[in-house]
């Protein structure tokens, strides 16, 4: 008597016949193959790498924007003294940078310095076109944490800050910019030179003379507390 033969399993119903745990694993594997590849973390790339990508990839430019927007905004604000104008000019800086990113090449001008040079030129045009006096909110500058190797470093009490503000106000605008780029933006002498279009050696010398001018001004204020130092900008150029 022939033995009864079991029907062959229907391959279309194979997954339904698997134990529940196996079905879960199979579904997870199928979903894994359907997933899109994970986007690379562009934030770990260097500026030169991001710049090259940004020539064809807007996401890469967005990373550069996030990296420098706060610094550029602060620089512009300290040169305009107005938040709204600083926001507008900051937007213009990155709009211009994005429009020229395809033609940008380093050639000794790092991307950060390139941004600051754009900002420097736009602010200069803003002052010239509007006929505005170049006002820098130095009180915010000092309160933001100005700290350098000079007798006025660590000026914590109110009187010392007052004297430092007066000394800063009497500095030529270029020297005020130098201090902002160095202490607010944390730029090197070489990069500051790129922004102000001077050599690294010239910036180093200017910085040294600026500290001496601040020291001399504050010493005069301390020696003559009842006599106002002449409201005259010092330029030991």
Q: Which domain holds residue 200?
A: 136-224
220: CATH: 1.10.10.10
* Count of structural domains, the chain: 2
Residue 20 lies in a domain: no
Same domain? 108 vs 187: no
Same domain? 157 vs 220: yes
Residue 63 lies in a domain: yes
Residue 11 lies in a domain: no
pLDDT score at 80: 82
pLDDT score at 162: 76
pLDDT score at 139: 54
Instruction: Report how far residue 206's alpha carbon sits from residue 212's, in angstroms, rounded to the nearest whole number.
Output: 10
Same domain? 96 vs 167: no
Long-range CB contacts for residues 205-214, cutoff 8 Å, separation at least 24:
206/174, 206/175, 206/178, 207/178, 207/182, 209/236, 209/237, 210/171, 210/175, 210/178, 210/179, 211/148, 211/149, 211/150, 212/236, 213/167, 213/171, 213/175, 214/150, 214/152, 214/164, 214/167, 214/168, 214/171
Residue 121 lies in a domain: yes
Tokens of 125: 């045009």
pLDDT score at 79: 83
Q: What is the pTM of this model?
A: 0.62
pLDDT score at 185: 79
pLDDT score at 37: 55
Same domain? 112 vs 147: no
Same domain? 128 vs 156: no
SS3 content of the chain, % helix, strand, coil (to 5): 65, 0, 35
Boundary residue ending a domain (87, 111, 132) = 132
Residue 156 lies in a domain: yes
Write out the chain's pLDDT in tens, 237 residues: 555 555 545 544 544 444 555 555 555 555 655 555 566 788 889 999 999 999 988 899 999 999 999 999 988 888 887 888 899 999 999 999 999 999 998 777 889 999 999 999 998 888 887 665 555 555 555 555 554 444 444 444 567 777 877 888 888 888 888 888 888 778 889 889 988 888 999 999 999 998 888 888 888 887 776 555 454 444 445
């Amino acid at each position: 008597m022939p033995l009864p033969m079991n029907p062959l399993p229907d391959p279309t119903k194979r997954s339904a016949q698997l134990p529940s745990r196996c079905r879960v694993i199979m579904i997870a594997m199928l979903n894994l193959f359907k997933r899109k590849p994970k986007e690379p973390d562009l934030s770990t790339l260097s500026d030169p790498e991001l710049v090259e990508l940004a020539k064809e990839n807007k996401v890469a430019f967005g990373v550069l924007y996030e990296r420098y927007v706060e610094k550029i905004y602060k620089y512009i604000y300290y040169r305009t003294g107005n938040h709204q104008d600083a926001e507008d000019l900051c937007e213009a800086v990155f709009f211009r940078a994005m429009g020229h990113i395809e033609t940008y090449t380093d050639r000794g001008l790092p991307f950060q310095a390139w941004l600051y040079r754009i900002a420097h030129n736009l602010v200069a045009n803003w002052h010239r076109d509007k006929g505005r006096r170049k006002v820098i909110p130095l009180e915010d500058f000092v309160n933001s944490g100005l700290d350098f190797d000079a007798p006025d470093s660590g000026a914590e009490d109110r009187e010392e800050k007052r004297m430092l503000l007066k000394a800063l106000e009497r500095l030529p605008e270029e020297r005020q910019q130098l201090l902002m780029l160095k202490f607010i933006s944390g730029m090197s002498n070489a990069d500051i030179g790129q922004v102000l279009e001077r050599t690294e050696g010239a910036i180093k010398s200017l910085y040294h003379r600026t500290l001496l001018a601040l020291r001399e001004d504050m010493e005069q204020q301390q020696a003559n507390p009842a006599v106002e130092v002449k409201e005259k900008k010092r330029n030991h150029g």
